[in-house]
Structure 1
């Protein structure tokens, strides 16, 4: 059915999308931009082992913990306003990180980057929901947004490696500053403000509860992924879940809740979020294996490995927009179901990758499974944003992105644990203790052994690691096949809704 006059987006809206992509690209890049900077940071700032972990992790923890809160803030004060506040804060925090003089200062700056990033991510997706009211155009725009988010994580290590070869370690943060200045200049000109009607006073207690629910759960999952099952991480997950129950009960009693639980009564909304969690489960869970395989099994230098790992991202750059077009023709549930199956085929094909396989084999397998899950991610994101009322677009996008963070952490924990258990069962008992725990431990041990002993240790560890990777890949494939089977019944067609109307707009000063 043709859309009403004035609904379709024009050149200005598409240019505004390019401005919004700048923000989400940099936020996603900052997740991985420190991968090559650790030796430089260690020499300059001399962090302890605990401080080094916090330098890496505090950004993701704060980001994931504040997404729902910041989505609700944007729904109240205006999404463009929150975007501009976040851009200014992101630029200032990047300056502080670049010129940090101590590990403590860098940790604090990374935490502030997480706060600013939490304002930018839901704002960009919510503004896309408001800029593109035509279903077809919105699907294309969200597909491009999805590709930018996935590409940012892949580009982070490459950009980091390039900058560190030519500049000092702070340059990996300083590169954010001109981009944020550009965003501050262009967004007021190209992105109109959208502010829903007033929704009551902001609920600080709900903001605290959402943070207290998400942070312990994500922390526990990441600790299990890094160090295996333990009492403290498990207790942390349970505590987060219990606080989450308290948060949900409070939302059900509030006249103006931060998170409207009525959204989850829509099968498309709730089902799409659940399916998106499974896509990130598979993608993040297997990324830890592909990166280690390239570096520690094939022996590629970190920057070379990072450059090769970008190849699947480039290959699937056009998948997300094409997925939207296919969904309009064949129906979103069917295309998502097919995407899960493609992802499962890619994961299953990794069992043919051995310790002496050609590089192209792992790259093809990664491209296939990434193409499948990106198809699902793109369509599920569009489904969530279409199902949510326009005045709840900020909260809906925050819930979506929180699920993405949770799925990634869960995938690393579960698939990481599967691979680690297989590794320990396959590696010979005669190897030194560190080599029996992880492949990284085997590489470190081999560096201090005579040549023949080092080769024997590395050969055994690489074989055990590859077997563990096969087990994790098959586990992920089974989960994706199960997801494919439930997608169509889970997302059965809902009754037709009236065409969306533009929200009331706050006049934009020129």
Structure 2
């Protein structure tokens, strides 16, 4: 990484106490250098002296540590809500008399709601300031959690989940923006983004066990009550500790130029972008269950995208902030982030353990705590590597490591004991989490001085959309291989090809294998044995291996995009 310091107008490299926290507001292009790394406009090289007046204290507000702690607590609360809902779903479904489709809708609602507002949150964060928007996000989270805790019917639950999802998305986007705006020293930034990468797996180590205990011992309504408590703490801390206008144009505009609200009144562009994103993501999610609804959702997404292009072309200064894409190689970095977010080996390993080894959820949570701890270590390990090699090159190394490690799925054979897939995932977890911090830092380093929240919203949107589309594609291919393999195996018996295909399709659809084997139509004892034994296990192994190979290819593709980004920057 280049040691040249990038300074903002009106701010000396020594960072004197009298210098302004923010440079004049504008949409000018950030300073660039010949280095293969970017640096956020207000950062110092890692070997420079820390200025006690730098950062949030320049506003007379608390120092960096309380501000960063507030941001990380907000992001942890968001992760906790996602990690605990699965374990309260079964008793909740029983209490409210929910169908399987209603339970699925309650699970997916937060994702759709958050995608709708992700760009609105980024725009408001940069316009109104991180503190106010974080408080509003925490309030939405608390109100939504309260509705979930008090839910007396399905509509109440769905509304509560939507509000809680919007609040969680807001706390995540603004939390990352706060970290990006508050931390100026390169060493601090490397450590902070490494901690960000370790945060989610750290939550998932304990949250499932805590949720399972609370649900069985205290009732499922105590889980959203915990969300309420955390949301209230975040709300109070954000109001008291996050400085006004930390990274927004709102504060700077009051003293260094026209307020952004005077320049950016419209909110049409971020709304249209959110509708397009949510429509396309929803279409990808439901295409296997309802072609008509998927087509309608995709049509809405495409129409919103077309309208967005028209409005953006006609507006001289639209609210939807695209400045983060203007740096050399920026599109390649976002492409790498999109592709790297597609595989989810934690999900496929969890699925394999559930269906193959028939373990209870608490036992599975204990087993998966091992790779989650490895992910924590992997996330934290990226900090010294980023300080030495830079975010771009560290991302390349981690993604290549993840690509190689994902091929370990090929060694999970039909007779493999449960520790084999757990060990494979533990190895994979280190580079997968290790790539998150450098990739996130590479994106946030692209943010202009008054655009941290917008950059954070783009990062979140790309990651969420990639995970959604990747889940559909990888799951679809892996399950297709599973079904095809099981059909071929059953074809070796006296069953007809049609019967074999129908049985395999039923297993893929979630039917209980033991019940299928006892079906009077399955007259061949060999078919029954294969369906409940080696045939099923072999098909599962083939499907899991397919998911691993696809993950390996996607990580390799992401690494290639980052290599091109490095070369683009060097030119």
Distance 1:125 1:376 in 2: 16
Cα shift readout 1:169-223 (whole Å, capped 9, x = no counterpart): 1122111111122222323333222231222244232243123201111112222
Aligned residues: 492
Distance 1:316 1:151 in 2: 8
Shift of 1:153: 5.2
Distance 1:158 1:233 in 2: 35
From 477, 483, 498, the equivalent of 2:552 is: 477
1:441–1:462 distance in 2 versus 1, CA, 3 Å: farther
Q: Which residue matches 2:318?
A: 257
From 365, 368, 384, the equivalent of 1:325 is: 384
Q: Residues 31 and 153 of structure 1 are in contact (CA less than 8 Å); yes or no, is this contact kept in structure 2?
A: no
5 Å-filtered alignment, 1:59-70, equals 59-70=110-121
Q: Which residue matches 1:223?
A: 286
1:25–1:342 distance in 2 versus 1, CA, 3 Å: same
Distance 1:242 1:491 in 2: 35
Shift of 1:382: 0.8
Cα shift readout 1:376-422 (whole Å, capped 9, x = no counterpart): 22111111111111211101000000111011111111110111110
Q: Which residue matches 2:176?
A: 125
Q: Which residue matches 2:563?
A: 488
Larger mean Cα displacement after TM superposition, 395-404 or 425-434: 425-434
5 Å-filtered alignment, 1:285-364, equals 286-364=345-423
Unaligned runs of 5+ in 2: 1-44, 254-258, 520-524
Q: Note if 1:266 corresponds to 2:327.
A: yes
Q: Which residue matches 2:274?
A: 211
Please state which structure has a larger fraction of its residues in helix. Answer: 1
Q: Which residue matches 1:406?
A: 465
Shift of 1:160: 2.3
Secondary structure of 1:203's partner?
coil
Q: Note if 1:71 corresponds to 2:130.
A: no
Distance 2:560 2:243 in 1: 41
Distance 1:186 1:230 in 2: 46
1:231–1:212 distance in 2 versus 1, CA, 3 Å: same
Shift of 1:352: 0.1
From 100, 103, 117, the equivalent of 1:49 is: 100
1:172–1:252 distance in 2 versus 1, CA, 3 Å: farther
Distance 1:329 1:299 in 2: 45
1:216–1:404 distance in 2 versus 1, CA, 3 Å: same
Q: Which residue matches 2:514?
A: 446
Secondary structure of 2:539's partner?
helix
Distance 1:388 1:470 in 2: 39
Distance 1:72 1:24 in 2: 19
Secondary structure of 2:376's partner?
coil
Cα shift readout 1:11-34 (whole Å, capped 9, x = no counterpart): 931233222212111212323422
From 239, 245, 250, the equivalent of 1:188 is: 239
Distance 1:388 1:495 in 2: 19
Unaligned runs of 5+ in 1: 497-510
Q: Which residue matches 1:458?
A: 532
From 79, 85, 102, the equivalent of 1:28 is: 79
TM-score computed with the length of structure 2 as normaliser: 0.80
Cα shift readout 1:442-471 (whole Å, capped 9, x = no counterpart): 662415755988764232223212201111
Q: Residues 75 and 395 of structure 1 are in contact (CA less than 8 Å); yes or no, is this contact kept in structure 2?
A: yes
Highest Rg: 1 or 2?
2
Q: Which residue matches 1:501?
A: none
Shift of 1:56: 0.8
Q: Which residue matches 1:147?
A: 198
1:50–1:473 distance in 2 versus 1, CA, 3 Å: same
Shift of 1:235: 5.8
1:413–1:348 distance in 2 versus 1, CA, 3 Å: same
TM-score computed with the length of structure 1 as normaliser: 0.89
Q: Which runs of 4+ in 1 moved over 6 A?
A: 8-11, 431-434, 451-454
Larger mean Cα displacement after TM superposition, 361-370 or 60-69: 361-370
Secondary structure of 1:130's partner?
helix
Distance 2:351 2:528 in 1: 18
Shift of 1:114: 1.7
Q: Residues 276 and 376 of structure 1 are in contact (CA less than 8 Å); yes or no, is this contact kept in structure 2?
A: no
Shift of 1:127: 0.7
Distance 1:114 1:263 in 2: 25
Q: Which residue matches 2:230?
A: 179
Larger mean Cα displacement after TM superposition, 32-41 or 82-91: 32-41
Distance 1:315 1:353 in 2: 19
Shift of 1:230: 4.2
Q: Residues 190 and 387 of structure 2 are in contact (CA less than 8 Å); yes or no, is this contact kept in structure 1?
A: no
Secondary structure of 2:512's partner?
helix
Cα shift readout 1:452-498 (whole Å, capped 9, x = no counterpart): 887642322232122011112112212222322332222336489xx
Distance 1:408 1:372 in 2: 17
Distance 1:241 1:41 in 2: 36
Q: Which residue matches 1:374?
A: 433
